[in-house]
Amino acid sequence: MTHKLYYEDTYAKEFDAEVISHDGNKLILNQTLFYPGGGGQPCDLGSINDVEVVEVIEDGENIIHVMKEEIADKNVHGILNWDRRFELMQQHLGEHLFAGSLWTLHHLHTDRMRIEGDNVSIDTDKPADMNAILEAEHAANESIWKDIPVEVIYPDMAEVKEHARKLPPENAVMPIRIVKVEGVDYVPCCGLHVSSTGQAGLVKITSCENHKGGSRIYLKCGRAAYKWLDSLYAEVRKAESELVCGYEGINEKIMILKSQIHDLKAHNEATIDRLMKPIADNLIQNAQNGIITHVMHGSDQEEIKRLFRLLTNENNGIVSLLAGVNDSGVFIIFGTHKENKNIDVRPAFKKAIEILGGKGGGSSFCAQGHGKNSEALNDALNAAVNAIKS
């Protein structure tokens, strides 16, 4: 049986122990500071006699330390990765403060807390709206600033039932371990926490999504929250510098840029249409047997599509077979006015795109795609013209 030193002093970083059993790289000690994980908190890591501890597992009364290599020593000295443990304790308490506040303020029950790297997530039983979440975040931070002691108590079941925001599982071992923060939270928990709320540092909500009829809320606490805000601020500074404004002006500048892009796009389309109009009129006048074939060299796809629109926006019965060639290959677009039910361009398109070694598709009145064999373009267009004629 392993004596659980981690429950006696959550701030101890090193310990001595004797090996009581040893199976390959799995080590059982008479006592340990290594928390095996539980209640959503991952296990501790660190080293034993300078060999890395890669996993810690609870096995009945024993704690198994999975070592990177086998250790033959009888007496050992263990050292925790303290930064990791401290951050996990900050995150775990931060989650209690937030979940306790969400329960007190909005009667939202939370479940399935999980700490994964710098992220804490919890699920609520009912949908949580953002205002309620942010109110609870604020209350959690208020409790941090009050620096309230975190107590671990073992009350009787009647008291647990009266005060706890959730009940322990049916198979819980008595006595029930309660983590209590006066005025904020009272909950059964097997995890480790910092000893006062102030040390949780900060609780910051980062996102929320719908999950199984409730919400999944993501938060960051303590050092992880600070690191996140630091990287967020670095991004904000870049945006401030690019947009030449303070952070309060970023959104307004983005709205202005979006509206300018919209206007420029409309202007660009109108200019292309104006330049293409005489070409389109000429092509319509000279259509052979109601078919237009036209190849544009060095034009981008947008220009070809604008020309296609000019050629097909009137129901004149004409079929347009357009192609654009540039360095990346060949783009084709075949079609007619959408009310022209006598024509289905797909068989012609299929033949042409096969010859071009490309891919694409569409409807009976408009099909488009890209191919690589631009040298086969004449063959492809001839095959398409024959297919339309037949």
State the minimum distance, in angstroms, from the CB of residue 263 to Zn ion: 54
Which neighbouring-strand residues pair with 331?
324, 370
Torsion of CA 2, 58, 20, 66, to 10 degrees: -140
Question: What is the SS3 assignment for 186?
Answer: strand
CB 369 within 8 A of CB 349: yes
Identify the residue among 128, 189, 304, 311 touching Zn ion (CB under 5 A).
189
What is the helix, strand, coil percentage profile of the chain, to 5?
40, 30, 30
State the minimum distance, in angstroms, from the CB of residue 255 to Zn ion: 43
- Which stretch, 115-123, 191-199, 201-209, 216-224, contacts Zn ion (CB under 5 A)? 191-199
Q: Residue 246 gets which letter from DSSP?
A: -
Identify the residue among 42, 46, 94, 191 touching Zn ion (CB under 5 A).
191
Q: Kindly tell me which of 191 and 358 has the beta carbon lying closer to Zn ion.
A: 191
Total chain residues near Zn ion (CB under 5 A): 3
**Residues within window 34-93 making contact with Zn ion, judged by CB under 5 A:** 39
State the minimum distance, in angstroms, from the CB of residue 112 to Zn ion: 12
Q: Kindly tell me which of 39 and 329 has the beta carbon lying closer to Zn ion.
A: 39
Which neighbouring-strand residues pair with 217?
122, 208
Question: What is the SS3 assignment for 10?
Answer: coil
CB 294 within 8 A of CB 335: no
Q: How many CA atoms lie within 13 A of 131 on its CB side?
A: 0
Rule CB under 5 A: say whether 358 interacts with Zn ion.
no
Q: Kindly tell me which of 39 and 249 has the beta carbon lying closer to Zn ion.
A: 39
Binding flags for Zn ion, 319-338, as an x/- string (CB under 5 A): --------------------
The whole-angstrom separation of Cα 144 and Cα 141 is: 5
Binding flags for Zn ion, 5-44, as an x/- string (CB under 5 A): ----------------------------------x-----
Residue with the shortest CB distance to Zn ion = 189
Q: What is the largest CA-CA distance in the chain?
A: 98
Q: Which residues of this protein are in contact with Zn ion, per CB under 5 A?
A: 39, 189, 191
